[in-house]
Amino acid sequence: MLSVKGLTKQIGEQQILRGIDLEVDAGETLVIIGRSGSGKSVLLKHLIGLMTPTSGQVYIEGKQIVGLKERQLLPLRKTVGMMFQGCALFDAMTVQENIAFPLREAGERDPKIIHDKVAQALEVVDLTGHEQKMPVNLSGGMKKRVALARVVITRPHCVLYDEPTAGLDPVVSDSINHLIRRLQKRFGVTSIVVTHDMKCAAYVADKVAYLHEGAIYFYGAFDELLASDDPLIQDFIEGRSGDSD
């Protein structure tokens, strides 16, 4: 479904990704964990061609996308949705318009169908009644849920989530975890979830990749991660900085 081979990215002097190989099968959920600044967001952006790698290949459903022009990438991106770390809601549009946007762009013109689908999506993310609000007037958790609704409304085959639960209260986090899981179970959506929330990882992961300084340090099932006696991984799981008072 999605794979990368030998992906490296250098911006200026900084080597952000140093040779990444990953493969995600259809219907599978891969969780990418790692410290802040380890290159998780940059990796996700390469997967749909928002950034161009210094070297390496990226495949979407078997098609190599590195080197394609922006206009050739546009149709491919409709099969892969991305939920951004900062939500990236269009701040000139209401909640309703944000969620309807991908539908309209997919060619849906019937206002009744658009209205119904948006209402349904809002119900799923528990935001019914907030249609006419502007993004600036939403709380962090509401923004995340609007962003989620906007991504999944066109039923992409694959969804990339960049820290979907970061900064949310435990209850909202839990409901987002359930949503991710439900999309995968019910619609067979392939998912890549970037997170450093271990609860989220435990709940949704089929496979886990631990990204460390721009390279995959560990790849395997979540249980294997927990069982690992590697100090680096142990520190991450336990949340230890190694500092003492």
Ligand X SMILES: Nc1ncnc2c1ncn2[C@@H]1O[C@H](COP(=O)(O)OP(=O)(O)O)[C@@H](O)[C@H]1O
Q: Which position among 29, 38, 41, 94 is part of the footprint of Mg ion (CB under 5 A)?
A: 41
Structure tokens of 17?
Answer: 């990704």
Site string for Mg ion, 50-89 (x = CB under 5 A): -----------------------------------x----
Q: Binding segment for other proteins among 1-9, 77-85, 216-224, 235-243 (CB under 8 A)?
A: 77-85
Site string for ligand X, 36-75 (x = CB under 6 A): xxxxxxx---------------------------------
Cα separation, 192 vs 207, whole angstroms: 10
Site string for other proteins, 182-221 (x = CB under 8 A): ----------------------------------------
Should residue 155 be labelled a site residue for other proteins when binding is judged by CB under 8 A?
no
Shortest Å, Cβ 40 to ligand X: 3
Should residue 164 be labelled a site residue for other proteins when binding is judged by CB under 8 A?
no
Distance of CA 12 to the CA centre of its chain: 26
What residues contact residue 33 under an 8 Å CB cut-off, 6+ apart? 194, 195, 196, 198, 201, 208, 209, 210, 211, 236
Half-sphere exposure of 157 (CA within 13 A, CB side): 12
Should residue 71 be labelled a site residue for other proteins when binding is judged by CB under 8 A?
yes
Shortest Å, Cβ 33 to ligand X: 10
Binding partner at 36 among ligand X, Mg ion, other proteins, none, C-beta below 5 to 8 Å by kind: ligand X
Binding partner at 11 among other proteins, ligand X, Mg ion, none, C-beta below 5 to 8 Å by kind: ligand X
Cβ neighbours of 88 (radius 10 Å): 15
Should residue 161 be labelled a site residue for other proteins when binding is judged by CB under 8 A?
no
Nearer to ligand X, 29 or 38 (CB): 38
DSSP state of 60: E
Should residue 75 be labelled a site residue for other proteins when binding is judged by CB under 8 A?
yes
Cα separation, 134 vs 140, whole angstroms: 13
What residues contact residue 123 under an 8 Å CB cut-off, 6+ apart? none
Q: Is 146 in contact with 135 (CB distance < 8 Å)?
A: yes
DSSP state of 157: S
Cα distances (Å, whole numbers) of residue 184 to 152, 218, 223: 11, 24, 20
Cα separation, 208 vs 7, whole angstroms: 18
Nearer to Mg ion, 41 or 191 (CB): 41
Positions touching ligand X (CB under 6 A) are 11, 16, 34, 36-42
Positions touching other proteins (CB under 8 A) are 45, 48, 50, 70-71, 73-75, 77-78, 80-82, 84-86, 88-91, 101-102, 105
